[in-house]
Every structure is written in C-alpha cells, then in structure tokens.
Amino acid sequence: MRGTNQIYQNNFLFDLNKNNNRLVELQQQVGTGKIAQRPSDAPTIVARSLTFSVQLNQTDMNDQNINSGIGWLDASDNAIQTVNSMLIHIQEKVTQALNGTYNDADIQAIGTDIAKMTQQIINTMNTNVGDRFLFAGTRDSLPPFDSNGVYAGDQGKIYMPVQGGVVNPADPVNVSGTDVMGPLQFTTINVNGNNVSVDSSLQGDGKTPQTLYLLNKLSQLMINNPGQFKNPATAENSWLRNNAVNITQAAMGITKNCLAEIGAIGDAYRMSLKMNYNTNMVIQQQDSLNSDVDASQAIIYLKSVETTYQASMAVGARLMPNSLVDYLK
C-alpha cells in the first residue's frame, strides 16, 4: 500500500475524534455519577432505572399513607380512651343515683351531671384532625353529632393504600360514630356478653346511636321526673332504672371493642411501615447498583483514555508536518 499525506491526516483526525468522544462520555459519567445520561447511552440501565423510580415513588407514597393512617388511628384511640373514662364517671354517678337514700333533688343533680358528661362525650366524638372529623365515616367534613347526639355521618370506611396498590379491606383506619356509640336501632343491648332485651319504646329513633340515645333518655328521666326514676310506673321508666348500669356497661363494651380493633389495626400499620422502609432501602440499593458509576473504576479508565489521547496527539505532532521537503536543501 502506498501511503500519502492525506492518509496520515485522515487517520489522525479519526482517532483524535474517537478519543475526544470517549473523554466527553467519561467526563459526564464522573461528573453526574450516573452511567447513562440518556436512554441510548445504556438502554437497559435507563429502563431499569425508570422502573426503580416508579417503585421508589410508590414506597414513598406508601410511607406517607401509612404514617397518616397511624396518626389517624392514634388520634381515634386517644378520643375513645377519653370517652371511656367519661363512661366510667357516668357509671359511678348512675350507681350513686340508684342508692335509695337520694332524694329527688339529688337525682336531678346527678341527671344534670350525666347530661353534661354526655355532652362532653358528644364533643369528644366530634374531634377533628386537620379538618377531618374522625368519627364521621366518609362524611368527614362536617361534625358528625349535633348536641342531641343525632348522627349525621355514615358508616363508610377510609382506607390507606399501603402496598403495591393492594390494601386489606379489613383494615380501615377509621371507626365511625356508630361503631363507637352503637347502632341507631336495636332490640337488645350487649352487657358483658349477655344480650339484654330493650323495652319496645326504647329501641332507638333511627338517628341517634344507642349509647347517646339511652344516656339521653336516662338523664332526661332523672332531670324531668326524678320520682319516676325512683319508683317507675311505666315499663319504659322501669327498664331505664333497672338497666341504668347496663346502659353504661354496654356502652363501655362497645368502646372497648373499638379500642381493641384500633390497636390491632395500628399494629398492622406499624408493621407495614417497617416493611415498607425495608423495601425502600432495597430498591434504593438496587437503583444505585444499576445506574451509579463506580467512581474509582471510572477515574482509572479516565486516566488511561487521557493517556491515549495525549499519545495520539504527540504522535500526530511528530509525524504530520514532516516530509521530504524538510530535508531537501
């Protein structure tokens, strides 16, 4: 093959250009810490990295949902504990009232106390967190109870998606007003596991939950008609007197069930939180392994490419300008 000056130049430029490109690529890799700047740099890595970003986004969102679920459950737990302590207080008062030595004024005073405490229970049941009423079911933008205890919420459940789009429907984060305060219509009440029949005139009005309905009835009887409370003449009043303690017992039974349920769900959510955190860490590691540059390797490679680059320029500088012309005198 016959060599010509043009061939020197062609080859030199081609090689120099190649070295330049390689340097630019490496500079970007070292500069950004990522193997691929664009899909065509490494299609598989970019595609995997997109998948990881979706998964990371998902676990981040799950984390947020789980935490807000836990917050919701904790707030519900606090409120129901408060309700429970008030119920204990009411039970003490009721027990006092049943004491035969109390006169009408005493009973009226106790009735007023019970009415006030019922009011406090209603206030507690209207607890809201961040403008959302805890015990309103899915109608959580309005207070679920009015001052008479009439329930305006529903029995809807609120779920927090916690993993991969799958949520256990048995794990809602809310309990509704009727979960805590009992049903709107009832024929029996559950006292420590035993069903006690309720007088037909006291089986609910369809709008006030059991606990509030019965406590209202009881306190009204004490206030308005203390004599009847002591010596009931009607089946209705007689039932109220005879079951005065049962009413609070049944109420506490319901709240305790709620507390147990909230506790169990809260544990499940806390477990989810840990698992989600672990998943998140694993994905982050995978993502890093997939798309991050191994810095030391990249720098060593950079060095060697740089050396080649320098060498090719040196060779070009030595060979290109020379020809026989330089030696002819």
Distance CA 327, CA 103 (A): 136
**CA–CA distance from 293 to each of 19, 54, 72, 238 (Å)?**
20, 21, 42, 82
Q: How many CA atoms lie within 13 A of 138 on its CB side?
A: 6
- Nearer to another protein (CB atom), residue 89 or residue 139: 139
Closer residue to another protein, CB minimum distance, 36 or 262: 36
What the block records as the tokens of 5 is 């000056």
**Residue 297, Cα to own-chain centre: how many angstroms?**
43
Q: Are 93 and 307 in contact (CB under 8 A)?
A: no
Residue among 113 and 140 whose Cβ is closer to another protein:
140
Closest-CA residue to 213 (of 189, 238, 242): 189
Least distance from C-beta 210 to another protein, angstroms?
8
CA-CA distances (angstroms) from residue 191 to 30, 114, 188, 235, 250?
Answer: 72, 20, 9, 20, 5
H or E element, residue 266:
helix 244-291
3 or 100, CB closer to another protein?
A: 3
Q: In this structure, are residues 152 and 136 in contact, taking their beta carbons and an 8 Å threshold? A: yes
Taking the complex as a whole, the smallest distance from the CB of residue 165 to another protein amounts, in Å, to 4
8 vs 102, beta carbon nearer another protein: 8
Q: How far is the CB of 155 from another protein (least distance, A)?
A: 4
The residue among 151 and 229 lying less far from another protein, judged by its C-beta, is 151
Nearer to another protein, 154 or 306 (CB): 154
CB of 36 to another protein, least distance (A): 7
Min dist. Cβ of residue 3 to another protein (A): 7
Least distance in angstroms from the C-beta of 115 to another protein: 19
Q: How far is the CB of 100 from another protein (least distance, A)?
A: 30
* E-assigned strand segments in the chain: 128-129, 132-133, 188-191, 194-197
Residue number with CB closer to another protein (95 or 188): 188
**Least distance in angstroms from the C-beta of 175 to another protein:** 11
Please state the separation of Cα 209 from the chain's center in Å.
Answer: 28
Q: Which is nearer to another protein, 68 or 228 (CB)?
A: 68
| Residue 133 backbone dihedrals phi, psi, to 5 degrees | -80, 130
d(CA 51, CA 57): 10
Least CB distance from residue 185 to another protein, whole Å? Answer: 6
- For tokens 């809602």, the residue is 172
Residues listed for the chain: 329
Q: Which of 158, 155, 136 is nearest to 146 (CA)?
A: 136
